[in-house]
Structure 1
Amino acid sequence: MTETTLVLVGNAKAGTVSVLKLGEGSLEPLSTSTIGAGTGTFAVDAAHSLVYCATKQPEPAIVTLRLDRSSGVLTEVARRAVADPLAYLTLTRDGDLLLGASYHGGWGVAWPVADGGLVGEETSRVEHANLHCVVTDSASRYAYFVSLGDDLISQTAIGEDGVLTPLDPPTVAAPEGSGPRHLVLAADEHAAYLVTEFSGEAIRLERDPATGQLTRAESVSIVDPEAGLTHSRFGADPMAEHLIWGADVHVARFGSYLLATERTASTVAVVSLDADGLLGGVVGLVPTEAQPRGFAVAPDSRHVVVAGEGSGSVALYELSDEGELVKRDRHETGAGANWVRFA
């Protein structure tokens, strides 16, 4: 690799963020910084070496951190209290707007950003039950909020002033009771892929890049058929009742494969994608870290880092052209490891 790629891992129970350096099939731990209990999501502004991290203790807040790329140390530069804990944070392309989704609060918000911190009041608010994710397209023209509680995706346009305007239609329905959780756009942005928590599906949605509108298409199960898991529901204990517990989803190998995690059986599913981005079959189900709540694909599109909420460790994999996910390295990061991003 010609440039240093850093891996940031949020350890919610430990209240820390660990920084590791990605090598060719290896991870080198650099530093672990204490941020605050509940560091369950963060967004990275690599161009400005800034990280926006959500915490729960001593109060729900968004902490702005400056990243020293050589040492991996994170230093707090600003803090903004919020009404409820956040499940997901993402930045627009230029890093001038931060969007967040609150699962417990049932709201999604956009905040203007300047000089390394949130400035002024929120520009917009979206309200749906148990919002679990928010993502934007690469041009930052559209934002999508995923509501686990209402089984839908809220689709909005992002104005130059940061105001979110609902599209027509304003929402796209997911299957009833499926528990939509995380969403990711295809590289060409002609499709989006959704993972569901309760039904354990990867769902493809067709996307019109000009209008931003999503239309639900086909789906495939990401659940290990030999694990004996059954459909989950809101408020259930998946581990105690042996239920499906879908978690995260990302595209890898330059759009050739879709990866998705399931936490009860602790697996990563590798789903083939054709040249048009349509879902194929599951070509691999790989055992991984206990309760793989979050993972991410490196900029090279082949290295994958999976965080184990139950193990407190991350595993590094390499995805081959044939869709084989091969384990290369593993390191302990901290209790409740559940979020991964690259910088």
Structure 2
Amino acid sequence: MNDLLKTMVTAALMNLTLEANAAVLLVGSYTQGTSQGIYRYEFDPRSGLIGSEPVQVVKSENPSWLVLSADQRLLFAVNEQGEGKGMVSSFSLGAHGEIAPLSQTASQGDDPTHASLSHDQRYLFVASYAASSQPGGSLIAVPVARDGTLQPAVQQERHSPSGVDPERQATAHVHSAVPSPDGRYLYASDLGADKVFVYRYDGANPTQPLTPAIPASVGLPPGSGPRHLLFDAQGRHAYLTLEMSGEVVMFDVRDGALLERQRLPLTDSDKADAKAGGAVHLSADGRFLYVSNRGTANEILVFAVAEETGRLTFVQRRSVEGDHPREFSLDPSGHFLLVANQKSNQIVVMQRDPREGTLGKTVQSLPIDAPSDLKFLE
């Protein structure tokens, strides 16, 4: 066998090995620029490299947040449009992550920015932020058929704003809707109200699956702007980012109630433009919490999580090497962390030490216009 043929065979074998070991990475994006919608990439968990070209591109308007069903056969996306154009879309997923459109329904609110599925997979809960419109943001419950098709929303909830910040809190701005790990409650973080609203969930009620819990909300500091909420696997503790004050809050969870136990700053700066708390994720083993701070900071913060109490201890502050880390994700192997830098149009892949939780060198910066969310198929 001559040298050229050997080289070709070796390259082919390497490509086959890559394909066999590759994970599927789905990327949501904003489409005001060159982005077309949802992108499907191959990700190599050995090297941390994303394929230079997407395997598939699905045209969709501003699919800024992605949701996977429990069996990973369905994909849902919010279409973050204003002026009455907000939508929610569903897609089927093939054996290798192939995406095919299924259905679409109105979000009944402007700028839908977050969604989640009930644990019984019967409802998609959609948070509409409503950046500039009256009467402001809202929460809706969208029935999901067994085949993944979406029905018109059966319930809509609106909250009263705090009005502390006359520009950003004049109306409600629901930023996320997150079920409890046991599926009994839903938590809606409202940046405009400075509250997390708590609802009981009853999937058997076809017209009102959500009813206010007792207590119906937990208050946060005036002008703090709650954004994203996250529970640990056991549902004993929860973590919340405060966008406007640039903080992370740790709660104990008791019968659906959130009891604040700790609040830590994400920056030492007093300047408002350095405070922009964003995404929050736990490592698979629950030992480390990762939080993004956007604005002029553009960092990922790493905290160690105490096993018994859930309390946080600062570990590391790491630049995202870009602008506006809208979302980030830990890869299935736990050895890499990927950041969607929306305004610098790139996905940055960093090495991660699973034992120490720390973030190491950057292994890739992949150009992509306005990435906003990252989800792995496992």
Q: What whole-Å deviation, never above 9, does each CA across 1:206-248 have from its counterpart, x for those lacking one?
A: 102xx2111112111122x3xx452x3xxxxx3xxxx311111
Q: What whole-Å deviation, never above 9, does each CA across 1:78-113 have from its counterpart, x for those lacking one?
A: 111233221101112232210010110411111110
1:246-285 pair list within 5 angstroms: 246-264=277-295, 265-285=297-317
1:112-191 pair list within 5 angstroms: 112-114=143-145, 115-123=147-155, 125-128=157-160, 129-161=172-204, 163-191=209-237
Gaps in structure 2 of 5+ consecutive residues? 1-17, 131-135, 161-171
- In structure 2, the CA distance between the partners of 1:304 and 1:101, relative to structure 1 (3 Å rule), is same
Cα drift, residue 319 of structure 1 = 2.9
Instruction: Indicate the residue corresponding to 2:67 in structure 1.
Output: 43
Q: How many positions carry a matched residue from both structures? A: 327
1:316 and 2:349 are equivalent in the alignment: yes
Alpha-carbon distance in structure 1 between the residues aligned to 2:70 and 2:351: 23
Instruction: Indicate the residue corresponding to 1:235 in structure 2.
Output: none
Alpha-carbon distance in structure 2 between the residues aligned to 1:88 and 1:149: 15
Structure 1 counterpart of 2:328, which letter? F
1:338 and 2:367 are equivalent in the alignment: no
Structure 1 counterpart of 2:246, which letter? G
Question: Could you state the TM-score of these two structures normalised by the residue count of structure 1?
Answer: 0.87
Cα drift, residue 329 of structure 1 = 3.4
2:285 match: secondary structure: helix
Larger mean Cα displacement after TM superposition, 188-197 or 271-280: 271-280
- In structure 2, the CA distance between the partners of 1:46 and 1:21, relative to structure 1 (3 Å rule), is farther
Cα drift, residue 19 of structure 1 = 1.9
Gaps in structure 1 of 5+ consecutive residues? 233-237
Larger Rg: 2
Instruction: Verify the 8 A CA contact 1:220 1:281 in the aligned structure 2.
Output: no
Structure 2 counterpart of 1:6, which letter? V
Larger mean Cα displacement after TM superposition, 73-82 or 298-307: 298-307
1:96 and 2:130 are equivalent in the alignment: no
Structure 2 counterpart of 1:274, which letter? A
- In structure 2, the CA distance between the partners of 1:269 and 1:178, relative to structure 1 (3 Å rule), is same
Alpha-carbon distance in structure 2 between the residues aligned to 1:277 and 1:329: 34
Structure 2 counterpart of 1:270, which letter? V
Instruction: Verify the 8 A CA contact 1:45 1:95 in the aligned structure 2.
Output: yes
Instruction: Indicate the residue corresponding to 1:74 in structure 2.
Output: 99
Cα drift, residue 301 of structure 1 = 4.7
- In structure 2, the CA distance between the partners of 1:141 and 1:300, relative to structure 1 (3 Å rule), is farther
Which one has a larger percent strand, Structure 1 or Structure 2? 1
Alpha-carbon distance in structure 2 between the residues aligned to 1:315 and 1:173: 35
1:204-243 pair list within 5 angstroms: 204-208=250-254, 211-223=255-267, 225=268, 228=269, 230=271, 232=272, 238=273, 243=274
- In structure 2, the CA distance between the partners of 1:120 and 1:253, relative to structure 1 (3 Å rule), is closer
Alpha-carbon distance in structure 2 between the residues aligned to 1:316 and 1:96: 35
Question: Could you state the TM-score of these two structures normalised by the residue count of structure 2?
Answer: 0.79
Alpha-carbon distance in structure 1 between the residues aligned to 2:239 and 2:275: 18
Alpha-carbon distance in structure 2 between the residues aligned to 1:32 and 1:312: 19
Alpha-carbon distance in structure 1 between the residues aligned to 2:278 and 2:40: 22
Instruction: Verify the 8 A CA contact 1:55 1:62 in the aligned structure 2.
Output: yes
2:323 match: secondary structure: coil
